[in-house]
Structure 1
Amino acid sequence: MTTDPVRAAFFDVDETLITCKSMLSFLDFHWGREGRAPARLTAARAALGHQLRSGVPREQVNRAYYRLLRGSHESDLEESGRLWFARENTRGLFHRPVREALRQHHRAGDLTILLSGSFAACLAPIGQAVGADLLVCTTPEITDGILTGDLTDRPMIGQAKSEAAHRIMRAFALDPSDCHAYADDATDLPLLTSVGRPVIVGSDPTLTTRATRENWPRLPGPAMNGLLAKAA
């Protein structure tokens, strides 16, 4: 983006722009670098999955994930993020239809924004690779370079994504009716309804029903490549 944008395009990340669920894929890689036992990841995955199946709000499950990183060094996570991205990018990390849509928005001069409940350690390389103008994500609390396990604010999930989108559109004096949003999960409905041009990715039943009723465009979803039902 080289001039003042007329429109914005908001992109969910996990299973929308990329083919996997970044948080646990990253955790698997990072703990592997640290020499953690594979059983620890299995236990973490099981605990988070149990919370989701039990109806625990996704915001709480998201917070539980970051508690797993308590005591981690920010610099170590950033290095793992760079290495994780380099590995995953050779395996087909990006979901091609959405990646192409983002390219088209770039060519049109639109402001491009990634919104995710994941965090910058693994999202920053993704944002840099696609040339996103803004990255809005969950922010772990860091003291003296070490993660405390808490967050600086609420997770970037659900209504928080919608509110962030509205703040950005106001800041750039953009008309929401001209803006786009791409997302795959029912929790992203607040984001999708924040703009006049929503696009759903995949076959989430709630979004599919809404898309059929509202005549929203649809893109195919990526092949399942995740470790857990979406927590971001």
Structure 2
Amino acid sequence: MSDVRPYLVFSDVDETLITVKSMFDFLRYQLVRQHGDAGEVRYERIMAMVHNMAGDGAPRADINRFYYRHYADQSVETIGRLAEDWFAERTASRRGFYIEATREALSAHRAAGATVVLVSGSFPPLLEPLAREVGADAVLCTRPIVADGRYTGEVATPVIGTGKSTAVLGVLESRPDVDPRDCWAYGDHVSDLPMLELVGHPVAVGENQELRQRLADRVRGVTA
């Protein structure tokens, strides 16, 4: 019988596992594929509105909802095909798309028998190919509402900030065999902190100094 205790690993995706913001990178790809130069213009207009919202202090969940409104009446099947094409193109060279340190860490956790869960405000067409590639066991993400095979432009609950921690907590509560203190979580932004604080081994990816400081303060508080 193995003496290894079961544990879970939760990983943010954008700028934690991959170098791009998947939602916006795909949006540009989709619009240009569908509309050519006009799609590029539309993308720039959308991003200007996103930057204005962020500059005005709009909650990240509101920006997440704003993003998905641009898929209203889009065919789920069409977006799925475009997402597979996007993923294939981005990973064709196998260089520059992944943050290799995180990918290697997840691979090591899998080899140790851990359950790996991706957690993201992005949506299934972009995350499912990625989950297959890195061997993730599950995906917790924002799920746009679908009616008659088309996106409505609305979402249920954005998996952003506290939405991430709520989703992660639900998984932890469903696994009474797992001690959260044995679990790991990876994130790159202070908005990931509510998720990171649920586990015994939080890891800051990248150079976000506020996140690193908050985690360092947490460790000092625990050991004091």
Cross-structure match for 1:163: 166
The alignment status of 1:154 with 2:165, answered yes or no, reads no
Q: Which residue of 1 aligns with 2:24?
A: 24
Question: Greater Rg, structure 1 or structure 2?
Answer: 2
| 70, 76, 79: which one aligns with 1:77 | 79
Question: How far off is 1:214 after superposition?
Answer: 3.6
Partner of 2:13: 13
Runs of 4+ that moved beyond 4 A: none
Gaps of 5+ in 2: none
What aligned pairs does 1:28-107 form with structure 2 within 5 A after superposition? 28-36=28-36, 37=38, 38-91=40-93, 92-107=96-111
The change in CA–CA distance for 1:90 and 1:215 in structure 2 (over 3 A counts) is farther
Quote the residue 1:227 is aligned against: none
Partner of 1:108: 112
Which of these residues, 202, 205, 213, is aligned with residue 209 of structure 2? 205
Larger RCO (alpha carbons 8 Å, 6+ apart): 1
Q: Which of the numbers 129, 140, 146 marks the counterpart of 1:125?
A: 129
Change (3 A) 1:193 1:39: same
Aligned residues: 212
What RMSD over aligned residues (CA atoms) do the two structures have, in Å? 1.5
Cα distance in 2 for residues equivalent to 1:165 and 1:197: 14
**Aligned-partner residue type, residue 206 of structure 2:** G
Runs of 5+ in structure 1 lacking a partner? 217-232
Greater fraction of residues in helix? 2
Residues of 2 paired with 1:27 and 1:208: CA distance?
Answer: 30
Rounded to whole Å, the distance in 2 between the matches of 1:128 and 1:5 is 25
